[in-house]
């Protein structure tokens, strides 16, 4: 007995786990009786890649929000333009090759097959989505977008200034009517929309000065995508905020971004990263203008 050695192989936990997972997958497939046609597989691939793109987009937003100072003169003039850029980027990544692996795993789970490999899409990702209305007309602008291809190069600020040149008369009228510095109006437009007439945020803010529908109605604005109505309405609201907060520009800007209620609640600029960045950006543009 002394020379007898009992040799029992200890189970590998990782193999047991892998076996259980595979068994569960097989049972799910068997229970669901999945029998996908080629058309079904194409739809599943599209859905899986779309899910992956959404996941990456959320991840990029979290990374951006975690940064304390993420803007430069070459960046975007508003969060909605940055969001659009991220959406285009993540869509391209997830639609190239096998993506980053999330879509591949989803597709393989339901089909037990490898996701088809897609060739790189030869399409330039816009660093700035251009939807610029090249008109000085005060008539309501329809959904049709007129694009211009004659923008000069240079920095982000150079391009914004060129866009704002076509609205200089309207900005001057708003400046005179509401006793506002023209550069303040231009700086707010730059921070809000980068001079994009048809800019629209996820929250529903519209136009050059990003007016919410409720605010626009209170200001008498019937078409937020009309440059004249939008600028005059936005300037009027900015004047109201300055009057409310004793001509304190920073508090007025904070109220424009986060609402006057939040400024009153915190007795100053609300401790919201978006609002703090917004006030800083507008002040920087004021210096540049």
Burial class, 250, CB count within 10 angstroms (exposed 0-12 / middle 13-18 / buried 19+): middle
Report which of 167, 132, 170 is spatially closest to residue 149, judged by C-alpha positions.
Answer: 132
- Distance CA(281)–CA(96), nearest Å, equals 35
Neighbours of 57 (CB within 10 A): 19
For the chain, the first-to-last Cα distance in angstroms comes to 94
Q: Any bridge partners for residue 206, and if so which? A: 200, 211
113 as an active site residue: the answer is: no
- Rounded to the nearest angstrom, the gap between the alpha carbon of residue 257 and the centroid of all alpha carbons in its chain is 16
Close Cβ partners of 261 (under 8 Å, ≥ 6 residues apart): none
Q: Which residue in the list 45, 52, 104, 192 is annotated as catalytic?
A: 192
Close Cβ partners of 109 (under 8 Å, ≥ 6 residues apart): 25
- Distance CA(1)–CA(4), nearest Å, equals 5
Length of the chain counted residue by residue: 289
Q: Looking at the annotation, which residues are catalytic?
A: 192
């Amino acid at each position: 007995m002394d020379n007898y050695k009992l040799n029992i192989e200890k189970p590998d936990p990782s193999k047991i786990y892998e076996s259980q997972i595979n068994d569960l997958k097989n049972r799910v497939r068997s229970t669901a009786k999945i029998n996908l046609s080629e058309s079904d597989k194409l739809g599943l691939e599209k859905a899986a890649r779309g899910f992956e793109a959404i996941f990456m987009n959320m991840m990029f937003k979290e990374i951006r929000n975690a940064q304390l100072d993420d803007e430069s003169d070459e960046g975007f003039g508003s969060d909605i333009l940055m969001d659009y850029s991220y959406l285009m980027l993540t869509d391209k990544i997830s639609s190239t090759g096998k993506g980053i692996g999330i879509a591949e795993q989803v597709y393989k789970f339901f089909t037990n097959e490898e996701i088809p490999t897609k060739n790189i899409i030869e399409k330039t990702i816009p660093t700035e989505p251009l939807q610029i209305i090249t008109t000085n007309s005060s008539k309501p602008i329809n959904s049709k977008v007129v694009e211009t291809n004659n923008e000069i190069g240079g920095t982000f600020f150079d391009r914004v200034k060129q866009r704002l040149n076509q609205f200089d008369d309207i900005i001057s009228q708003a400046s005179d009517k509401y006793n506002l510095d023209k550069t303040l109006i231009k700086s707010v437009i730059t921070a809000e929309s980068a001079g994009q007439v048809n800019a629209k945020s996820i929250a529903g803010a519209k136009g050059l000065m990003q007016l919410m529908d409720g605010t626009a109605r209170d200001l008498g604005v019937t078409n937020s995508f009309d440059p004249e109505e939008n600028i005059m309405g936005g300037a009027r609201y900015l004047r109201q905020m300055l009057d409310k907060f004793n001509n304190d520009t920073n508090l007025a800007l904070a109220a424009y971004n986060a609402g006057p209620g939040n400024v009153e609640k915190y007795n100053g600029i609300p401790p919201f990263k978006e609002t703090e960045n917004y006030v800083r950006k507008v002040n920087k543009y004021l210096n540049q203008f």
